[in-house]
A and B are shown apart, each in its own frame.
Chain A
Amino acid sequence: MTLTSAGQLGFQAFIALLSVLLWGCDSYKVDSLSEKSLIYCSEGSPEIFNPQLVTSGVTVDATSKQLYNQLIAFDANTNEVIPSIAKSWHVTQDNKKITFYLRKNVAFHHTRYFKPTRFLNADDVLFSFNRILDPTQIFHDVSGGKYPFFDSVAFADVIDSIERINDYTIRFNLKRADSSFLANLATDFSVILSREYAELLIRSNKLEDIDTLPIGTGPFKFKEYRTGSYIRYEPHTAYWEGQSHLQQLIFDITPSNTGRLTKLLAGECDVIGYPIAHQEITKNPQLTLEDVTAFNIGYLGFNTTKPPFNDKRVRRAVAHAIDKQAILDTVYLGDSKAESANSILPPSSWAYAKDTQSVEHSPEKAKELLQQAGISKKFTIDLWAMPVQRAYNPNALTMAKLIQADLQKIGITVNIVSYNWQEFLRRLALGEHQAVLLGWSADHPDPDNFFTPLLSCGSAETGNNRTFWCNQKFERLLAAALNITDLAQRKALYREAQKIAAEELPLFPIAHSKRFQARKKSVQGDILHPFGGISFGRVEKQ
């Protein structure tokens, strides 16, 4: 052996040693662990692990489709109602009795804190809905005892009783026909909990655990949660639709927009929600940017019970003064990310009225209307801008500033008001505002989900209708539309309703936005849905 070859050999040995040190002796495992683990960088911490209790998007994203199932679900492509835990259902002619036939062998999560002894049956369904409906049920008041989604659709007023026919059959008896009822049951909020787990919690006197240490039937089960840091899920091995391909699902909570982008680019996140700098993502060959037209509306709401906005001429004047295109370009960063709204319904809804008149940008008309309303001198209004970022309004403060500048031109001084989110919502519900920039994301494709929560008299009473507008004719149209199942007839009624809303203008629709998501190309499967939360049940990494 010559000296050089000895040197070469030494060098090779050194490289070999180095690579062993760097990559470990069982490097095939590292591949499999990161290949089978998915990190989703989300924008916030969930408040609780039971979507029955909240309407916040963060919570729904993190819990609903991961941990739970509903009786029925929406098909992501056609928006039709499809079977889930209920394998089929039957609706009577009068639209008042709905019978669900449940799937057999649906297993609940088996975790360190609960070991189920039986499969899902009608008792669990009964328990889950009774928790919402029955004030005497022991769990009704647990974790605040508020069911905002169900309150907003007046769920308790619709249901007469829920009957357990046998182990796998359950019947909902309605007081009146409600054609959005099935859609409500298919939303992310109508999850099925385990009654057996609830009984265990009663025995151990830890009732709150039902919402913080969740047990469901969904594709993943809960493992660990650290507020503000992460959520760790494991696959539910006995999932009725087949076990997930992932070994771990982790929600890495990263509230900062740039932080999420950096993590995606540096490869620390597989998927991120609400990405910024779309160009940066699209030009990277390893990443994909996806969008879905969300069923939502960003609007300027007027408090119709307070001057000056109790006068519809002032409302219209303000609407005329606002340059909507400038808002779309600045706040929603151009047309590709949002479309201008004429109605509270997005154009993709079947009930959308194409002929709804839009309010054109015209400061002259605005001044004229103000004069007609008898307001000649300058005045000041408070405009409330929501402090958080949502798909329907990515930057309410900037939007408020643009509106401020627009209204200045017609002699209205705008004072921008903001509080922290909880406080903001609380005060809004009390009606302390004059005008507010807010929005709504639909939970299901039924048009009623826009009209009733946003503009009905009932939700004006609960404070969910931030305009406090209550119009009897409009109300009758909504009620009539719920009472029938014929699509053409419903369509006509909703068109009429949209006409009234456009005429009275309790709120000024600004934009329907898209929801974006960016992911590594190696992540396969549908995550985004047009409404409701995201789902990782069918996701694979390659």
Chain B
Amino acid sequence: MLIFTLRRLNLFFFTMLVLTLLTFSLSFFFPGEQIVNLTGQIDATPEQVALIALDYNKHESIIWQYWSYLLHIFNGDLGISMTSKIPIMEEVLSHLPATIELTTVALLIAMITGIPIGFLAAVRHRKKTDNIILTVSMIGYSIPIFWLALLAILVFSIQLAWLPSAGQISLIYEIKQITGILFIDILLSDNPYKWQAFQNASIHILLPACVVALAPATVFVRLARSSMLAVLESHYIKAAMAKGLTTQQIIFRHAIKNAMVNVIRDVGLQFANLVTLAMVTEVIFNWPGIGNWLIQSIYQRDFTAIQGGLLALSSFIFIVHIFTDLIYAALNPIARGIKYGS
């Protein structure tokens, strides 16, 4: 397990190195002064620019420049936003939790719906139910997310007026930001309307989370289905059948647990996909997450924010991957034998 962990950390280290190299080089490729792109100090006087250049070792070789860039990152200094003048780190920390919240809820919805349906399809293998489930999941997987999001707004917000179309919570509730995760902040707040705020936040998250969840849910359906099929064909299931256990007993006692192991592993792999889907959804639902913020930054040519946002978002996805890998390895001893990250 130790070697496995070390290998993963090693992989993390080098990937991060490549990532920082990429963001560092981006500052040269963007139009304008490199040092300004890197720090976001667009209103600085020539003297201030000279000071910043000194701070970033601009007069030294490129290697040193890169090194001082890394040092700044390690100190949590990603520069300031060219448009809002707020430190990028602060922006990231205030927007990332909303994305985490959305993706987590979406992941939960995808798992709760996708996995049981997949198991059901496997149990009813090659029957009508199986075919219907496969067809529906194929359609669900193929729908472009932006279209689905707009459709969902049209039906559930505009036509039926059941669910809100934008934002994280109604503005009538004032919730102080403590952790950034809105649901936790609501529970921590001393607002007398806490409970209503909680409900309001719940109905706000429902539509975007379901939209984000659809594609991963269909993936889970197919994963759960094939994993369950594999388990059902294994020898110990056959042995259990031979012992005369009922189908229910076999499935609930033996099959589900073993089939789950394989599914869990792919949950982590789905995460990058989920964040990408969330970015598009955030824009359409005006969700105050990091994806929405990053896309706005691209619109506004906020180069510092683009670099910082990319770095933060990709390292976040990477960290989640490594965590799921570690959890999987902890659960499944066989996996520890696989030395290289996937």
Contact = CB atoms under 8 A, between A and B. Distances in A.
Interface in A1-48: 22-26, 29-30, 33-34, 37, 39
B48 interface: no
Interface string A219-245: 000001001001010000000000000
B333 interface: no
B170 A268 contact: yes
Contact of B157 (A250, A252, A262): A262
B199 A24 contact: yes
Interface string B170-194: 1111100000000000000000110
Interface string B152-164: 0100011001011
Interface in B171-227: 171-174, 192-193, 195-196, 199
B166 interface: yes
Nearest to B193: A33
A232 B192 CA distance: 18
Interface in B235-292: 286
B153 A267 contact: no
A488 interface: no
Contacts of B199: 22-24, 30
A262 B196 contact: no
Nearest to B202: A22
A230 B286 CA distance: 13
A248 B172 contact: yes
B157 A29 contact: no
B161 A265 contact: yes
A536 to B, nearest CB: 15
Contacts of B153: 262, 266
Contacts of B192: 29
B196 A24 contact: yes
Interface string A194-233: 0000000000000000000000000000001001001010
Contacts of A22: 199
B17 to A, nearest CB: 36
A23 to B, nearest CB: 8
A30 B193 contact: yes
Contacts of A25: 195
A227 B84 CA distance: 9
A499 interface: no
A164 B167 CA distance: 51
A24 B171 CA distance: 19
Interface in A459-482: none
A37 B161 CA distance: 19
A262 B171 contact: no
**Interface of A: prevailing SS:** mixed
B20 interface: no
What is the size category of the interface that chain B forms with chain A? Answer: 20 to 34
A263 B167 CA distance: 10
B289 to A, nearest CB: 14
B158 A250 contact: no
Nearest to A36: B172
B165 interface: yes
A268 B167 contact: yes
B165 A266 contact: yes
Nearest to B167: A268
Interface in A37-68: 37, 39
Interface in A88-114: none
A525 interface: no
Given A37-B172, A39-B171, A259-B286, A265 B157 contact: yes
Contacts of B170: 34, 39, 268
Nearest to A32: B193
Given A232-B174, A250-B171, A250-B172, A268 B166 contact: yes
A267 B161 contact: yes
A398 to B, nearest CB: 22
A425 to B, nearest CB: 20
A266 B157 contact: yes
A262 B158 contact: yes
A33 B165 contact: no
A29 B199 CA distance: 13
Interface in A284-330: none
A267 B166 CA distance: 11
Contact of A30 (B174, B196, B286): B196
B83 to A, nearest CB: 10
Contacts of A267: 161, 164
Contact of A263 (B165, B172, B195): B165
Given A232-B174, A265-B157, A266-B161, A24 B195 contact: yes
A421 to B, nearest CB: 15
Contact of B164 (A248, A250, A266): A266
Given A34-B172, A39-B171, A230-B171, A265 B158 contact: yes
B158 A266 contact: yes
A254 B163 CA distance: 18
A260 to B, nearest CB: 10
A224 B84 CA distance: 17
B97 to A, nearest CB: 16
A230 B174 CA distance: 12
A26 B171 contact: no
A230 B172 CA distance: 11
B266 to A, nearest CB: 33
Contacts of B286: 259
A284 B170 CA distance: 22
Contacts of B161: 265-267
Nearest to B160: A266
Contacts of A33: 172-173, 193, 196
Nearest to A265: B158
Nearest to B156: A266
Given A37-B172, A39-B172, A266 B193 contact: no
Nearest to B171: A250
Contacts of A268: 164-167, 170
Contacts of B173: 33
Nearest to B173: A33
Contacts of A265: 157-158, 161
B302 to A, nearest CB: 13
Contacts of B196: 24, 29-30, 33
B180 to A, nearest CB: 15
Interface centre among A34, A248, A259, A266 (most CB of B within 10 A): A266
A265 B192 CA distance: 28
Nearest to A23: B199
A333 B48 CA distance: 52
Contacts of B84: 227
Contacts of B167: 268
Contacts of A26: 195
B149 to A, nearest CB: 12
22 contacts: A25-B195, A29-B196, A33-B172, A33-B173, A34-B172, A37-B172, A230-B171, A232-B174, A248-B172, A250-B172, A259-B166, A262-B158, A263-B164, A263-B165, A263-B166, A265-B157, A265-B161, A266-B163, A266-B165, A268-B166, A268-B167, A268-B170
Given A33-B172, A33-B196, 6 more contacts: A248-B172, A262-B157, A266-B153, A266-B163, A266-B166, A267-B164
Interface of B: 84, 153, 157-158, 161, 163-167, 170-174, 192-193, 195-196, 199, 286
Q: Which 6 A-B pairs have the closest CB atoms?
A: A266-B157, A24-B195, A30-B196, A37-B172, A266-B165, A250-B171
